[in-house]
Structure 1
Amino acid sequence: MEFKSLRDYTLDQLAVMWNEGFTGYFVDATQSPEGFLRRFAAEHLSLDLSFAAVLEGKPVGFVLSGARAIGGTKTAWNGGTGIAPAYRGQGIGKLMIAEALRRYAAHGVGLATLEAIAANAPAIALYERMGYRTINRLKILQQTGELPAVTFAAAGTGPFRVQLGTAPDVRGLSFYDHSAPWQTQWANLTNAESAILYDDQDRPLGYALFKLAYDEHGNPASASLFQCRADERREDAGAIVRHLLAAVFPPHPSLTRRTMNLPASHAEAVQALEQAGFSLLMEQVQMTQPLSPEEQA
């Protein structure tokens, strides 16, 4: 077994490698060469950290990874691990994860992270054997159709003001969640928006990160929520979160509303969405492994 740079392969070959690696997966992950390239760029993956596993000259698996500083810690994320069906169950996954961790350490990574579908018990067991531990569960919720304007109304909540802006606007908030999964971090969200709730003294109380998509007529088609939480010191966290949800999910009748890897630890948001009729499409686990002495402490 050897590990080769993705630079040794054409875009067409990389797409074939990806599609073979995700054959029989829980969801259809098929990618065209162009789709693979867009995914690689959008998820800020790294050619230095990513690699193919090669056996007798043939690529049989891969690990895609990226890294950046999050909350002061250089953090690596696993953006996809796949093995061709004919080579599964032979210990290749263990060798690949060990190689990924070696590369992380060599590049000064302090924290390794990944997500796995909660129903994928074999993958989770492998990651646990390699030192990862589950720290959170991640919710993919969805609601379509009519959503009454009063769905997220909260009585007696005081004078609040919602300020809409860009994703980077949340980076300075003292209660920003640096532990949220990498796909939902402001720096990894392209063209995302933010909603920050302020009180009558312009003190920030909570925030949401989300994206809106529009149809060909300019009407809202979908709204995706990535993070939504209040300052944990607030006793009215539930009301704060409901104000933010009302801003993120307008009552447009044809809108598809969903969450993308919303941490279960954002409990007020999860509870409010479930009460509003959002249903669970999929659940993932968020796993981490400290690599630096500071993160291991």
Structure 2
Amino acid sequence: MQTNIEIHTLNNVDISKLSALYNLSYQNYYIPIELTQEQFESKLKMEDIDLQQSVGAYINDELVGFLLYGIRFYKDVKTAYVGGTGVAPDKRGNKITQKMLDYSFSRLKDAGVQNIFLEVNTKNDFAINAYQACDFTKTRVLNSYKGIPTLIVNPLHAIVSFDDLNLITEENFWDIKPTWKNQIQSVKNIIDSCHINGIFEDDILVAYKIINKNNTRIYQFGVHRDYRNRYLASILFSDLKNKEIKMINVDEREISTIDFIQSLGLKLYDQQYEMKKEL
């Protein structure tokens, strides 16, 4: 019997039902995910998820699939980000994800979106093939690390809190652009949940890190280009010894960053591809 699947936006969705379906969809994923409703709502806020552009699949008025889109401008280019896609396990095999993708592309283009980014586990061949069939291409490999820092350094500099995010500039700190979840805008969206501290020399920010106070996830850290190779990153992390921390979406091309992360004692636990589609 043919299943009647309706696809439309999520602007009137019941958040509790969407949150429950999100957890259900990811319960047997490569890295299982389970968020409280509060954590799920924080994710939506952090990633600028636009429910008017996000898509849901319904069977007999029951939500059985979702495709979450965050919307932002990056260097004057309107960009979308897939913040999650999933289908209820008992409804898989009906090409629901493909239907949601097909429905969304023309809507996003009409809204002025030029690029779509997403992240997918490198082991998820089924999803990768589906995205490639929709003209997504791999742009980079992203590593995730976790562990308890073991590197102990005598803190020769004070680590101080600050709140002026304008001090963190691309030209001074970043060799490679952060992914959507780690961008400064994501931090601004949940600033009350973040702890930002750094090292200053002559009133110049020379090293910084941004960490979630609730789950000790590091969103960003960096050392000023003109102050590298002085153990500042090691000093910066000296206040986190004996605390388990996590870093996700580290570009594998950042060799020196990865060497430092591993020197802390953190271990690789997941890899994803970032993929991009131009509309």
Q: Same fold (TM over 0.5)?
A: yes
Identical aligned residues as a percent? 20
After the TM superposition, which of the residue ranges 23-32 and 107-116 deviates more from structure 2?
23-32
Paired amino acid for 1:224: I
Q: Distance in 1 between matches of 2:164 and 2:252?
A: 21
Q: Distance in 1 between matches of 2:63 and 2:116?
A: 24
Residues 1:180 and 2:169 aligned together: no
Q: Which residue of 2 aligns with 1:105?
A: 109
Q: Which residue of 2 aligns with 1:42?
A: 46
Paired amino acid for 2:262: E
SS at 1:54's partner residue? Answer: strand
SS at 1:94's partner residue? Answer: helix
Report the alpha carbon displacement of residue 74 of structure 1 after superposing the two structures with TM. 1.6
1:144–1:92 CA distance, 2 compared to 1 (3 A):
same
| 8 A contact 2:10–2:53 mirrored in 1 | no
Report the alpha carbon displacement of residue 130 of structure 1 after superposing the two structures with TM. 1.1
Report the alpha carbon displacement of residue 195 of structure 1 after superposing the two structures with TM. 4.2
Q: Which residue of 2 aligns with 1:258?
A: 246
Q: Which residue of 2 aligns with 1:294?
A: none
Report the alpha carbon displacement of residue 268 of structure 1 after superposing the two structures with TM. 1.2
Report the alpha carbon displacement of residue 212 of structure 1 after superposing the two structures with TM. 5.3
- Structure 2 unaligned spans of 5+: none
1:284–1:196 CA distance, 2 compared to 1 (3 A):
farther
| 8 A contact 1:225–1:262 mirrored in 2 | no
Report the alpha carbon displacement of residue 62 of structure 1 after superposing the two structures with TM. 0.6
CA deviations 1:227-263 (Å, max 9, x no partner) are 54664xx7x86x26x523531x115542223312222
1:104–1:165 CA distance, 2 compared to 1 (3 A):
farther
Q: Which residue of 2 aligns with 1:295?
A: none
Q: Distance in 2 between matches of 1:268 and 1:34?
A: 36
Q: Distance in 2 between matches of 1:27 and 1:170?
A: 34
Q: Distance in 2 between matches of 1:201 and 1:145?
A: 28
1:19–1:277 CA distance, 2 compared to 1 (3 A):
closer
Q: Mapping of 1:156-171 within 5 angstroms?
A: 165-166=162-163, 168-170=165-167
Q: CA RMSD in A?
A: 3.3
Q: Distance in 2 between matches of 1:5 and 1:85?
A: 21
CA deviations 1:126-145 (Å, max 9, x no partner) are 11111111212222112315
SS at 1:8's partner residue? Answer: coil
1:253–1:34 CA distance, 2 compared to 1 (3 A):
closer
Q: Which residue of 2 aligns with 1:20?
A: 24
Residues 1:62 and 2:66 aligned together: yes
1:290–1:207 CA distance, 2 compared to 1 (3 A):
farther
Q: Distance in 2 between matches of 1:177 and 1:66?
A: 24
Q: Distance in 2 between matches of 1:244 and 1:122?
A: 39
| 8 A contact 1:6–1:14 mirrored in 2 | no
Report the alpha carbon displacement of residue 87 of structure 1 after superposing the two structures with TM. 2.2
- Structure 1 unaligned spans of 5+: 154-159, 215-220, 292-297
Q: Distance in 2 between matches of 1:133 and 1:269?
A: 25
- Indicate the structure whose relative CO is greater, using CA pairs within 8 Å and at least 6 residues apart: 2
Paired amino acid for 1:73: V
Paired amino acid for 1:109: V
In the alignment of these two chains, the number of paired residues is 269
